[in-house]
Chains A and B, each alone.
Chain A
Amino acid sequence: MAGTLFDKIWDSHVVASRSDGTVLLHVDRHVLHDLGSNIAFAKLNKAGREVRCPELTVAAHDHIISSAPGRRDDTYAEGAPFAKALRENTARAGIRLFGLNDPLQGIVHVVAPELGVALPGVTLACGDSHTCTVGGIGALAIGIGTSELEHVLATQTLILRRPRTMRVRFDGVPGPGVTAKDMILCLIGRIGAKGGVGHAIEYAGDAVASLPVEARLTLCNMSIELGSRIGMVAPDDTTYEYIKGRRFAPEGELWDRALAHWRTLPSDPDATFDREVVIDATEIAPHVTWGTSPQDVLPIDGRVPDPEALGDAGARTGAQRALTYMGLTPGTPLDGIPIDIAFIGSCTNSRLSDLRAAAAIVRGRKVAPGVRALVVPGSTSVKREAEAEGLDAVFRDAGFEWRESACSMCAGVNEDRVGPGERCISTSNRNFEGRQGPGARTHLASPPMVAAAAVAGCFTDVRRLGN
């Protein structure tokens, strides 16, 4: 029977099917981070249980650490107990930690593909909703809560109900200045923040096939902003080229066997999905959010919407509330809204290609007066590679801060925060109230758009700046 990429991976990982409709699914890769695993370890210890497969598990310091140059565990004091607990828990269980000063350190969803921890066809779980990022490499990657995390530690499996499948096809190729971030923002704007609930999404079509792996990771990253725990792109030659030679990727005979397996994974041509969405990628413009949900998004030539014009009462109240919080007036053109902060980083957009795209806009320009601009590479490897290309100098010369790899200003869980009422254009993934700090006003956009805003001092259509 014809199967989808999702079906093939799911079916081959079922350890047991239960009469209640759930399955026990094997987890090939378990990824831990500093903020999400300590409580699970404590519960596991209390119950007298052991980590079943430390050899299939890795961990990283990323969320609750400082991004300041020369940082230590306690540079961000509140994070020190978390950093220490992860060190101790992983050491006791024999789990490899990519710790604070390890050259392999980075944001979990950045390092998993970059190091070859994640591979096509694997099931990967991590106690973080943006685990869906890793589906960009052709893995079935799923974000889990603490109880599920403890379950994976103890059993190397998850109890899951099979989601429905959905294919999103981006037809045609987007124009210059339009990135994978704009594609996913556009999709969220179209189908809404719960448009993907209960579904595993496969992204397909010309626009996706032509994306490099790093951009596919960006695309999959925001699947959770549609309500989908799983987003995927079928592996292809672009994927295999990306993986070859990565730190933990298979080599030699194992590579050949793995590759032969990976080639069987893409959805069969006659496979069917429970739902299909088609988007004309040629029409997508650079996007920016205006409200407090990722679905509150418009092309840069749009205007802040008027809540009164919205159809249903719920949407009207929601939009009204969002505009009050965001300090915006209906009808204001997005192009030209002044900013206080420009943040380039997070598991959505902190890979080398993102930094290159932003640097291309910044080169030879200066950060606008009064704007704080920062670049936080997604991993220590990304940082090193960017420095080897001189990107750090481009950013520094323009007036950007160049920081150590961490989640940084994405989630306000360390010292990098947006102050109350400050307006930040950010390459991250969530513009929720208070996400980047209490009272913070967050606008999501692509790295080139954030770079353009940093130098213009306001939202601006990056296509006007060109490169």
Chain B
Amino acid sequence: MEKVSRIAGVAAPMMVDNIDTDAIIPVPWMTKADVDFGQALFANWRYQDEAGAVDRPDFILNREPFRGARILVAGTNFGCGSSREHAVWALLGFGIRSVIAPSFSDIFYENSCKNGLLAVSLPADAVADIGAKLDGGDAGLEMTVDLEACTVTGPDARTRPFDIDPARRTALLEGLDEIGMTLKDAEAIAAFQARDRDSRPWIYQAGFNA
């Protein structure tokens, strides 16, 4: 996984609650052989046609300077619905490195952490304030998310702290390979299974291949 520490750039406000992963990447786009997932981001909102050839000019990520957005500011329960990790890949593929919202769905949050997309929750009023400032555009559209310092700096230069689980923070900062780490516990897993095989033999004798 790529390391994450500080993300600075244009932030796009999408102040809608419950943005689901079907909206972030509609299913037909997960199966197209010749497109990258970044092209698929918000496809139903972003394009007029199914092939994605014609933009909807009023969609925020089709407008300058948001075409180059690095940060997305969104409503509550972001990433709800399907577990598709493609939603995270689509955001990253487009260039979004951080999403700021009052809350995230559990699976989306987990998927984000595992791919180096920095999902930051801030209190709802703070997100609403940032969203309003971005919408007005008077204060500018650039923001910074700093994982070292655990702060978000809004377009008005106001800096707010955010909370993140220390283990997740380390994993993101160091770009850890979780599977590699778990495999160091291979003996503990084998020991668990040996014990468990005695107490719950039916788990291991299902005979799926028989």
State whether these chains interact. yes
- Which A residues fall within an 8 A CB radius of B? 15-16, 18, 20-22, 24, 26, 28, 35-36, 39, 47, 49, 52, 54-58, 64, 78-79, 81-82, 94-96, 116-117, 119, 121-122, 127-129, 143-148, 150-151, 154-157, 159, 161, 163, 193-194, 197-198, 224, 227-229, 248, 250, 254-255, 257-258, 261, 293, 295, 314-315, 317-318, 321, 411-413, 430, 432-435, 438-439
Beyond A21-B165, A197-B106, whether A28 also contacts B203 by CB under 8 A is yes
Residue pair A129, B83 in contact (C-beta under 8 Å): yes
Residues of A within 8 A of B22 (CB): 411, 430, 432-435
Residue pair A35, B23 in contact (C-beta under 8 Å): no
Shortest Cβ-Cβ A-B pairs, 4 listed = A20-B167, A250-B202, A147-B114, A96-B208
Q: How far is the CA of A380 from the CA of B30 in the complex (A)?
A: 26
Residue pair B178, A229 in contact (C-beta under 8 Å): no
Residue pair B179, A151 in contact (C-beta under 8 Å): yes
Residue pair B167, A21 in contact (C-beta under 8 Å): yes
Q: How far is the CA of A147 from the CA of B182 in the complex (A)?
A: 13
A-B contact pairs, 12 of them (CB 8 A): A54-B209, A55-B209, A82-B31, A95-B208, A145-B83, A154-B182, A156-B193, A197-B105, A258-B200, A261-B200, A432-B81, A434-B44
Residues of B within 8 A of A54 (CB): 209
Q: How far is the CA of A31 from the CA of B27 in the complex (A)?
A: 20
Residues of A within 8 A of B23 (CB): 432-434
Q: Say if the beta carbon of B207 comes within 8 Å of chain A.
A: yes
Residue pair A412, B182 in contact (C-beta under 8 Å): no
Residues of A within 8 A of B26 (CB): 412, 434, 438
Residue of A nearest to B110 (CB): A145
How would you classify the secondary structure of chain A's contact residues: helix, strand, loop or mixed? loop
Residue pair A81, B107 in contact (C-beta under 8 Å): no
Instruction: Using A47-B179, A81-B33, A438-B44 as known contacts, list a sample of 12 further A-B pairs with CB atoms less than 8 Å apart, ordered by residue number in A.
Output: A16-B185, A16-B188, A56-B204, A193-B80, A194-B76, A227-B80, A228-B106, A258-B200, A317-B15, A412-B27, A413-B28, A438-B50
Residues of A within 8 A of B15 (CB): 314, 317
Q: How far is the CA of A381 from the CA of B30 in the complex (A)?
A: 29
Residue pair B18, A229 in contact (C-beta under 8 Å): no
Residue pair A318, B17 in contact (C-beta under 8 Å): yes
Residue pair A248, B201 in contact (C-beta under 8 Å): no
**Per-residue A-contact encoding for B128-143, CB less than 8 Å = 1, 0 else:** 0000000000000000
Residue pair A143, B107 in contact (C-beta under 8 Å): yes
Q: How far is the CA of A128 from the CA of B200 in the complex (A)?
A: 26
Give the Cβ gap from B15 to chain A, nearest Cβ, in Å: 8
Residue pair A411, B27 in contact (C-beta under 8 Å): yes
Total interface residues in chain B, CB < 8 Å: 60
Beyond A26-B192, A144-B107, whether A432 also contacts B20 by CB under 8 A is yes
Q: Say if the beta carbon of B174 comes within 8 Å of chain A.
A: no
Residue of B nearest to A227 (CB): B105
Residue pair A22, B167 in contact (C-beta under 8 Å): yes
Residue pair A198, B85 in contact (C-beta under 8 Å): no
Q: How far is the CA of A224 from the CA of B81 in the complex (A)?
A: 7
Q: How far is the CA of A330 from the CA of B22 in the complex (A)?
A: 26
B187-210, CB < 8 A from A = 188-189, 192-193, 196, 200-209
**Per-residue A-contact encoding for B56-85, CB less than 8 Å = 1, 0 else:** 000000000000000000011100111111
Residue of A nearest to B186 (CB): A155
Beyond A147-B115, A229-B106, A321-B16, whether A257 also contacts B202 by CB under 8 A is yes
Residues of A within 8 A of B27 (CB): 411-413
Q: Say if the beta carbon of B144 comes within 8 Å of chain A.
A: no
Residue of B nearest to A54 (CB): B209
Give the Cβ gap from A203 to chain B, nearest Cβ, in Å: 18
Q: Tell which of B16, B178, B200 touches A318, judged by Cβ atoms closer than 8 Å.
A: B16
Residues of B within 8 A of A430 (CB): 20, 22, 81-82
Residues of B within 8 A of A293 (CB): 18, 20
Residues of B within 8 A of A24 (CB): 182, 185, 188-189
Q: Say if the beta carbon of B98 comes within 8 Å of chain A.
A: no
Q: How far is the CA of A178 from the CA of B62 in the complex (A)?
A: 46
Residue pair A193, B77 in contact (C-beta under 8 Å): yes
Q: How far is the CA of A18 from the CA of B182 in the complex (A)?
A: 11
Q: How far is the CA of A363 from the CA of B141 in the complex (A)?
A: 61
Q: Say if the beta carbon of B183 comes within 8 Å of chain A.
A: yes
Give the Cβ gap from B30 to chain A, nearest Cβ, in Å: 7
Residues of B within 8 A of A157 (CB): 182, 185, 189
Q: How far is the CA of A257 from the CA of B182 in the complex (A)?
A: 31
Q: How far is the CA of A163 from the CA of B110 in the complex (A)?
A: 13
Q: How far is the CA of A224 from the CA of B77 in the complex (A)?
A: 12
**Per-residue A-contact encoding for B88-107, CB less than 8 Å = 1, 0 else:** 10000000000000010111
Beyond A128-B83, A434-B26, whether A154 also contacts B44 by CB under 8 A is no
Beyond A21-B165, A21-B167, whether A194 also contacts B77 by CB under 8 A is yes
Q: How far is the CA of A255 from the CA of B202 in the complex (A)?
A: 8
Residue of A nearest to B177 (CB): A47
Q: How far is the CA of A32 from the CA of B37 in the complex (A)?
A: 22
Q: Tell which of A82, A145, A411, A438 touches B111, judged by Cβ atoms closer than 8 Å.
A: A145
Residue of A nearest to B104 (CB): A197
Q: Tell which of A78, A117, A432 touches B208, judged by Cβ atoms closer than 8 Å.
A: A117
Q: How far is the CA of A129 from the CA of B86 in the complex (A)?
A: 13
Q: How far is the CA of A119 from the CA of B170 in the complex (A)?
A: 37
Residues of A within 8 A of B179 (CB): 47, 49, 150-151, 154-155
Give the Cβ gap from B208 to chain A, nearest Cβ, in Å: 4
